[in-house]
Amino acid sequence: MGRAQLGRAHMSRVAATLVAMAVLTVGSVGGLRGLLPALPPAPGLARAAPPVGKPLPASKAPAPGMLGRLEAARCETDRVLRLTHPPMAGEDVWELNVRLKQLGYLNVPKPGNVFDFATDQALRRFQRDHGLKPDGAVRESIWRALAGPEEPRPTAALPPPKPPLHLVIDVDRRILTLYSQGRPYRSYPVAIGKERTPSPIGEWRVVHKDSNWGGGFGTRWLGLDVPWGIYGIHGTNKPWSIGTAASGGCFRMFNTNVEELWAWVPLGTPVTVTGRRIPVEYPRTLRQGDIGQDVAYLQLYLREAGFPVPRADGRFGAGTAASVRELQRFYGLPVTGQASWDVLGILGMY
């Protein structure tokens, strides 16, 4: 018997005891819900309704036909950076400052995301030292120069892996592993999303492939079917970022590595992304038709609690609603098929 089955069997016994207590002391099974918060075996049950605050915004789906497509991605930018008034700011400036500090040109305690005078002077010193025009502008050629010899040499060639294939990305370890016929075949380091732009946890599929886009997307793109944005596995012109939390949510790879993976992985390949789940501070009531990272979390927690869903794909469909109803019946809650704070609390989602 699996852990989830053992947990459900134990909770069944606890629930049966509480029903009897509720009938004796309150006179109706409705008293069960009043007794559930005192249950020690399920910490989530002790949670009260979340405080009133700013609600979690509903996620928006990509435009029709653009799911997983590179041309709709916004996680990388290729604008020309330079000193302006007001100064330019953004994640690309932050990555520039990080690299200039790594190379010893920017002497600041912590790199920021503003292109200020210190950035300009550091960049010009770098350009002069590398025989480049010291104009203080960052174009694709400067990103390549900043990368230097960071791109690793191609690894020893392996024969194409035998299907079925499956990709598993461990966000915490920042490792992508290709599985062939259920066994690890090759692993690669990746860069993941920053804390403010996290990578999507859940179960996805490769739905789009593209190549030689260049710039921040490198030489290859594998688009995923994440429903609330454009996310993918791609190369990079910032190889020093591999192994760090640096992207806008996508998974960056060395170009040599992503080229090998791209050649092997067909459309439809499943991609499982695992890692720490960020608690939802102000949970919304989740219902059929919703999409988002919180929906994918709900699906994963339901499965772990013994209420399986077909796939943790961030889409609240009929299968997820059926699992929510089963949980509600199990705990004596109103059977609505909607995951409000009581369901989320039982699952420990906030």
Active-site residue set = 234, 250
Structure tokens at 45: 């049950």
Name the residue among 327, 350, 348 with its Cα closest to residue 337.
Answer: 327
Handedness of CA 299, 301, 302, 304 (dihedral sign): positive
Q: Which helix (H) or strand (E) holds 220?
A: strand 220-224
β-partners of residue 251 are: 233
Close Cβ partners of 149 (under 8 Å, ≥ 6 residues apart):
none
Name the residue among 207, 201, 258 with its Cα closest to residue 69.
Answer: 207
Distance CA 309, CA 330 (A): 16
Amino acid type, 342:
D
Question: DSSP of 103-120, one letter per residue?
Answer: TT----SS--SB--HHHH
Cis bond upstream, residue 159 (ω within 30): no
CB atoms within 10 A of CB 252: 32
| Residues 37, 324, 55: CA angle, nearest 5 degrees | 75
Contact 219, 258 (CB under 8 A): yes
Question: DSSP of 138-200, one letter per residue?
Answer: B-HHHHHHHHTT-SPPPPPP-PPPPSSEEEEEETTTTEEEEEETTEEEEEEE-BEE-TTSPPP
Instruction: Give the C-alpha distances (Å, rounded to integers) separating 66 from 145, 216, 286, 312.
Output: 33, 19, 25, 21
β-partners of residue 271 are: 167, 204
Chain mean position to CA 6: 30
